[in-house]
A and B are shown apart, each in its own frame.
Chain A
């Protein structure tokens, strides 16, 4: 780890000011950033912790929308009961240590292609709220480790419209518990969404053919015969593109079956 300054502001304005420096970097739960720093893969001059800002914490549900503060931990999300499929997703991330430190804002700001939350956010059609604007999930995830966030822009909350039916089915990479393939499906007033994480070289994506098939018949059977092209799927030490493409079909059917 290289040396850096550290600030822990109490308000969003202070955080924005602290992040104005060119080489400042926001720090949420640190479950990705700290290991990155320890391996000297990044050299920020200053870390700005976002975990002491009350406005970024907590959950509330009203009008069919669950709002989760950006600095809310996975463990806290796992305990809420307004959106059970999302609770299950959060409860299956990593291990207790990761769940007690990692935050939803940190996860989606990082947009790791094997993280669970991007599937939950995209698969729910959620809205990412920042200190400057609101960004629809479809516009938010722009590529591998890439998002629509601008420099200095801070996620404050994520608004999840609570669907009628939803479920997340994940195939764990057994050593790290990251998603080798994870599929989040939902059926709500705006239709069916199928979001896939862990599999694509482009990061989280919606499986359009599956969504179309499920729109008229929300059942695992409706997916018979559908498959994903292995082209563009990740091939790495944990599994090949063919295997991942195959698992997308299996996990989608299982998510639909679990959503009921």
Chain B
């Protein structure tokens, strides 16, 4: 059995020795040129004059292109056609690409770009949520509203009303490998691209469109990324398209990569939100109705904002049955980098909204927050349907939470925290348990498809290809385990190969946590097809019933006879059996009407829960995460080692989002935190001192690949427990509810503690 083994990442040795090849490490042909953008220095305005003569005259510069120099309008947006590669006269954010420089080196291209004299007539920039509300700059024509039940009557009848607001900051992806693409012009007019992207098919599509070529003339290859986190779903388009245009113009290979500061300034981040809430509860803490207003800062273009904001609405319930609900979502256009996909895709903001509500209600009622949460969990008998009409099946959170509360000693530690706080004036501890229920599937139904290509060579080696991309998450290893399992052979026979639009077409982004679910199934289908052909042939030639032929332990069992896998392959080859097949998978059962906000958008839900204990210094606001205990549901794990790694990383990244990672724009719309010296991501030493992660281990109730569950995004929301533990610690400083905003930087924690103490 390969499936279920805790095998190390297939590229682990390459990662740690530095031998793993990323796009910028690929040896380039002689004469390769380099591309850099010239960027806007205003957040909003009209280009009045552009003097690029000094850029052009810089030694080493081969060409300089503006939008006017392009043969056709070139768009790099993922869908809405609202992102010209280069500004066409209007400037919409500080850092927007205005022109591009093609030069003999990366440095020359960048340095030359800075010699431009671009005059921009500034216009008042819409930067914040408040600016956008005042200016009325909405995407999608105004608010999107979903309702369930009768929220008005429910809130009128509710014995208690709890209301408030939380500001939720954005988040920089901070993939270790920055954005990069390499374009190699082909002799037939086609283009080959190597890109660091989660979405090779989209790169292929955008490059083909930019060059006026059919998609068949463009091939995109992605061996691996050094992290993606959603930041390489659409944000790589501009680089690949720019490099391809430069390559087509010059006939030479062209490469483009952003330096870190440029990367942080140009590319989109997680959407920052403001969530306003009004919740009605009875005296026992049962939710009667909740009203949410979600203000979404989308940035200057649409990008992926509609599905991100939808997902925030879809997760506004998290794990709780809320009989009456109204969610208003305002997608606000601002003159900032266009916010984009980021692990969780709006889900985390939605989940944080309702978890904040639960925390606030527990404080107002003087109830244990865990008891309150348990009282409101989805359950059978009429409490099992979400606000968008999907039944919640296979819901195991009550058991997971119960088990975690026990294994983490939650109740005893809560008492110990209270005792500690009674004795300490400056240091205060806090503890919180939060669950996550996360819907698995793309909400755009047609994206839930995947393909694979498997070859078995005559020496018994297996070549594996699928549409998913490897960004460090271990997808290739999991899928290779599926392939090895399919043929009953060891992993050593399976060769993992780069994602390639020439091998598997029309792929979806590796996103929505769906990589293993979709591609694992497609690979299995391809392996099943080849094995089926082999079985039929061997059954005939050996005079056996197909059912009696087994692929196991590197052998093919033919009744009493055993052939080594390679011998069986050779027999099939000699018998002229095709040993190559494609596989295809589409997720069943899903439907979604996004306008009505009703349907069955998710194939299933992934679940988990975390307990975090923190200590704060109420005088400085500094804090430490002392301990985190996690119990997470990955169904029957394809690879427990990789899954635990994803859970640990997801928690730390989620906690980072809500604690130290603060994005700051100034009043001119300039991002001031564009380097690790000013933007603090969690380091190894910031992880909890005690970190216990366990897998729930029960199989998925729907037939996913070996009954496993998706693991990419859901654990990020476990980090919410760290944020609410900080809130709990601040609450210990006085009587008032802390109403912490995120990220809970030391300054915010200190100020909240001061406010709470009165």
Contact A250 B619 (CB under 8 A): yes
**Per-position binary interface string of chain A over residues 82-98, scored 1 when its CB falls under 8 Å from any chain B CB and 0 otherwise:** 00000000000000000
Selected from B622, B660, B679, B747, the residue in CB contact (under 8 A) with A240 is B747
Residues of A contacting B677 in the complex (Cβ-Cβ under 8 angstroms):
175-176
Contact A175 B679 (CB under 8 A): yes
**Per-position binary interface string of chain B over residues 731-758, scored 1 when its CB falls under 8 Å from any chain A CB and 0 otherwise:** 0000000000000001100110000000
Chain B: which residue is nearest A251 at the CB level?
B620
Residues of A contacting B698 in the complex (Cβ-Cβ under 8 angstroms):
none
Contact A247 B620 (CB under 8 A): yes
Contact B680 A175 (CB under 8 A): yes
Within 8 A of A (CB), among B641-662: 660, 662
Interface: B11 (CB within 8 A): no
Contact B619 A174 (CB under 8 A): no
Measured between C-beta atoms, what is the minimum distance from A233 to chain B in Å?
A: 13
Given A237-B673, A247-B620, A250-B620, verify A175-B678 contact (CB < 8 Å): yes
Contact A174 B680 (CB under 8 A): yes
**Per-position binary interface string of chain A over residues 239-260, scored 1 when its CB falls under 8 Å from any chain B CB and 0 otherwise:** 1100100110011000000000
Given A174-B660, A243-B751, verify A237-B678 contact (CB < 8 Å): yes
Size category of the binding interface on chain A: 10 to 19
* CA of A184 to CA of B352, assembled, Å: 41
Measured between C-beta atoms, what is the minimum distance from B612 to chain A in Å?
A: 19
Chain A: which residue is nearest B676 at the CB level?
A175
Residues of B contacting A174 in the complex (Cβ-Cβ under 8 angstroms):
660, 680, 746
* CA of A42 to CA of B728, assembled, Å: 49
Interface: B664 (CB within 8 A): yes
Given A171-B620, A237-B672, A237-B673, verify A246-B750 contact (CB < 8 Å): yes
Selected from A171, A176, A239, the residue in CB contact (under 8 A) with B678 is A176
* CA of A171 to CA of B745, assembled, Å: 13
Contact B750 A243 (CB under 8 A): yes
Chain A: which residue is nearest B673 at the CB level?
A237
Chain A: which residue is nearest B621 at the CB level?
A243
Residues of B contacting A171 in the complex (Cβ-Cβ under 8 angstroms):
620, 622, 746
Chain A: which residue is nearest B618 at the CB level?
A250
Given A175-B676, A175-B679, A176-B678, verify A239-B747 contact (CB < 8 Å): yes
Contact A237 B747 (CB under 8 A): no
Residues of B contacting A238 in the complex (Cβ-Cβ under 8 angstroms):
678
* CA of A171 to CA of B677, assembled, Å: 16
* CA of A250 to CA of B620, assembled, Å: 7
Size category of the binding interface on chain B: 10 to 19
Measured between C-beta atoms, what is the minimum distance from B618 to chain A in Å?
A: 10
* CA of A256 to CA of B680, assembled, Å: 30
Residues of A contacting B750 in the complex (Cβ-Cβ under 8 angstroms):
243, 246
Measured between C-beta atoms, what is the minimum distance from B108 to chain A in Å?
A: 14
* CA of A171 to CA of B662, assembled, Å: 17
Residues of B contacting A251 in the complex (Cβ-Cβ under 8 angstroms):
620
Measured between C-beta atoms, what is the minimum distance from B603 to chain A in Å?
A: 40
Measured between C-beta atoms, what is the minimum distance from A76 to chain B in Å?
A: 25
**Per-position binary interface string of chain B over residues 656-700, scored 1 when its CB falls under 8 Å from any chain A CB and 0 otherwise:** 000010101000000011001111100000000000000000000
Residues of B contacting A237 in the complex (Cβ-Cβ under 8 angstroms):
662, 664, 672-673, 678
Residues of A contacting B679 in the complex (Cβ-Cβ under 8 angstroms):
175
* CA of A237 to CA of B622, assembled, Å: 17
* CA of A239 to CA of B678, assembled, Å: 12
Measured between C-beta atoms, what is the minimum distance from B751 to chain A in Å?
A: 7
Residues of B contacting A240 in the complex (Cβ-Cβ under 8 angstroms):
747
Residues of A contacting B620 in the complex (Cβ-Cβ under 8 angstroms):
171, 247, 250-251
Measured between C-beta atoms, what is the minimum distance from A97 to chain B in Å?
A: 13
* CA of A251 to CA of B644, assembled, Å: 40
Residues of B contacting A250 in the complex (Cβ-Cβ under 8 angstroms):
619-620
Within 8 A of A (CB), among B573-590: none
* CA of A239 to CA of B680, assembled, Å: 14
* CA of A246 to CA of B679, assembled, Å: 23
* CA of A239 to CA of B621, assembled, Å: 12
* CA of A175 to CA of B677, assembled, Å: 5
* CA of A174 to CA of B680, assembled, Å: 7
* CA of A237 to CA of B677, assembled, Å: 12
Contact A243 B678 (CB under 8 A): no
Residues of A contacting B746 in the complex (Cβ-Cβ under 8 angstroms):
171, 174
**Per-position binary interface string of chain A over residues 215-252, scored 1 when its CB falls under 8 Å from any chain B CB and 0 otherwise:** 00000000000000000000001111001001100110
* CA of A52 to CA of B746, assembled, Å: 42
Residues of A contacting B662 in the complex (Cβ-Cβ under 8 angstroms):
237
Chain B: which residue is nearest A242 at the CB level?
B751
* CA of A221 to CA of B746, assembled, Å: 24
List 15 interface pairs A-B (beta carbons < 8 Å), by A numbering.
A171-B620, A174-B680, A174-B746, A175-B660, A175-B677, A175-B679, A175-B680, A176-B677, A237-B664, A237-B673, A239-B747, A243-B750, A243-B751, A247-B620, A250-B619
Chain A residues in contact with chain B, CB under 8 A? 171, 174-176, 237-240, 243, 246-247, 250-251
Nearest first, the 4 closest Cβ-Cβ pairs linking A and B are: A175-B680, A237-B664, A250-B619, A174-B680
Given contacts A175-B678, A237-B664, 13 further A-B contacts (CB under 8 A): A174-B660, A174-B680, A175-B660, A175-B677, A237-B662, A237-B672, A237-B673, A239-B747, A243-B750, A243-B751, A246-B750, A247-B620, A251-B620
